[in-house]
Structure 1
Amino acid sequence: MKIYIDEKMVRRNKRMGNILKWLSLIIMGIGLWIVFQPSVAENPTLTTLVFTIVIIGFFMSSIGNYLNSRFGQSPRPDELIDKSLKGLDDRYTIFHYNTPVTHLLIGPAGVWSITPSFIDGTLEFNEKKNTWRRKGGSFINKFISQETLGNPQKELQANQKDLDRFLKKNKIGFDMPLNGAVLLLHKNASLEEQNESDILIVKAEKFKDKLRKIAKENPSINDEITKYQQLFIEE
């Protein structure tokens, strides 16, 4: 499998995550210092200042933690995706962070938007509401971590629009539907039987086999996809 990644963006976000982490600690430390000043209780202005400082520090810490979880430690999400797809031949190409779709896979199985997920517990699909629901999972991972499944269907629709705009802007005359896949990377994540959802939600180690099966069932995709890969590489 061929891998293309925006290394500059990875380094930039890693550096930004570290900066925000330390700045948030400094800012919240200043807020804590102000709290213990004798004049704070008697001065509404200082009280407002303390709350403002704490809120700013909290948001900076949240952003820093998000960036560090994606770019600051190895294995990063993109590295885990690559690991799950190891063994696919060079007819497959994956693009990390350098297209409108964060993780874009192109190959004999079609065009895929891949979303890595670290949530645990059991996922089930509600056909009436057309949404995925999470059952169980650890208290820490559910309430303390920032990982949520979100709305894969809406994210796929948004990615399709972004991809279409990208193709139009770069005058790439090629039309291929975008498939969506959520890779479950947590060892304690499980999935009820796949059903009528438009999104493939799958354990990371099983995704490669799914792709091979799809490619085998749709051999005509391969001829079209070769040109598509090259257009993205050139861009």
Structure 2
Amino acid sequence: MKIIRNDRYIKRNNRIGQFASLLGLLILAIGFAISIRSLATFETAKPLEIKWDAIGLNLSLDQQQQTTISMLALLIGFILSQVGIFFGNRFSRRPRPDELLDAALKGLDDRYAIFHYTMPVSHVLIGPSGIWLLLPRHQSGKIVYEKKRWRQKGGGPIQAYLRFFAQEGLGRPDLEFETETAALTRYLKNKLPDFEIPEIQKALVITNERTEIIADDAPILTVPAKKLKEIIRKAGKGKGLPPAKLEALKAVLPQP
């Protein structure tokens, strides 16, 4: 299997995630320090004096101003930390989602090519089995499909805490696939105006080996990473994508 990856994009977003995380922690620390100081001097109502002679800064904050600033700092710090988590899960944590997909599909022959961050969508596999949009998720616990939604369950209070503060949520895979399918279709039509775009297959890939999946009724294939290659191979034994169309498609896509 050929792997085409946008390393520059990955490195840039890795830096964005690290910067957002560090800045978020710094702002959270400032907000926490101001709130502690405000509580400690609540009875005396002593103002907070902030001086920085190098830039001519000289502020005196009363209790109300201290409370407002601390709340804003905590909110901004939390938002930045969530941005850091979003980018960190995709571009900093090793192995990254793209690397986990590569490992899961290792062994497919060179008729297959997987593209990471080189098109308007994140992960696309193209080969004899057709065009596959892959959406990796690393959530732990239990992934179930019920009441027309994917949900993450289990893990107790510790897992609930991590989901809120340290992990990205499962989100709405159906809406993500809808958006990515439309974007990929437009991209391919621009590249090959006369090309009949085959049906784009979709798979929600759970890369955490310990996660339990209960989603047989899901409208989109929800599968552990270790079973993905087998499913792709079986799909290639059906109608699949004719060799001539496959080569025409590969010719206009990003090259290694």
Instruction: Confirm or deny a common fold (TM above 0.5).
Output: yes
Q: Is the 8 A contact 2:104 2:225 kept in 1?
A: yes
Find out whether 1:64 has 2:78 as its counterpart. Answer: no
Gap regions ≥5 residues in structure 2? 42-46, 49-60
- Note the alpha carbon deviations across 1:67-109, whole angstroms, 9 max, x for none: 1221113211100010000000111111111111110111111
Matching residue of 1:22? 22
Matching residue of 1:183? 205
| Match among 134, 140, 149 for residue 170 of structure 2 | 149
How much does 1:186 deviate? 1.4
User: Identity over the aligned pairs, expressed in percent?
Assistant: 34
The code of the aligned residue for 1:214 comes to A
Matching residue of 1:33? 33
- Matches for 1:100-179 after TM superposition, within 5 Å: 100-126=120-146, 129-137=147-155, 139-145=157-163, 146-170=167-191, 172-174=193-195, 175-179=197-201
Count of equivalent residues = 232
The code of the aligned residue for 2:138 comes to F
Higher mean displacement: 55-64 or 159-168? 159-168
How much does 1:203 deviate? 1.0
Give the TM-score taking structure 2 as reference length: 0.80
Q: Is the 8 A contact 1:119 1:142 kept in 2?
A: no
- C-alpha RMSD of matched pairs (Å): 2.4
How much does 1:34 deviate? 2.3
SS at 1:89's partner residue? coil
Matching residue of 2:52? none
How much does 1:65 deviate? 2.0
How much does 1:31 deviate? 1.9
Matching residue of 2:233? 212
- Note the alpha carbon deviations across 1:129-164, whole angstroms, 9 max, x for none: 443344434544444233433332222221111112
| Match among 95, 101, 107 for residue 87 of structure 1 | 107
How much does 1:24 deviate? 1.6
How much does 1:204 deviate? 0.4
The code of the aligned residue for 2:69 comes to L
**Equivalent-residue separation in structure 2 for 1:163 and 1:209 (angstroms):** 24
Higher mean displacement: 206-215 or 129-138? 129-138
How much does 1:172 deviate? 4.2
- Residues 60 and 169 of structure 1: CA distance in aligned 2, closer, same or farther (over 3 Å): same
**Equivalent-residue separation in structure 2 for 1:223 and 1:55 (angstroms):** 55
Q: Is the 8 A contact 1:94 1:104 kept in 2?
A: yes
Higher mean displacement: 199-208 or 225-234? 225-234
How much does 1:227 deviate? 1.6
SS at 2:132's partner residue? strand
Gap regions ≥5 residues in structure 1? none
Find out whether 1:10 has 2:10 as its counterpart. Answer: yes
**Equivalent-residue separation in structure 2 for 1:125 and 1:49 (angstroms):** 42
**Equivalent-residue separation in structure 2 for 1:139 and 1:185 (angstroms):** 23
Matching residue of 1:192? 214
The code of the aligned residue for 1:191 comes to I
Find out whether 1:202 has 2:223 as its counterpart. Answer: yes
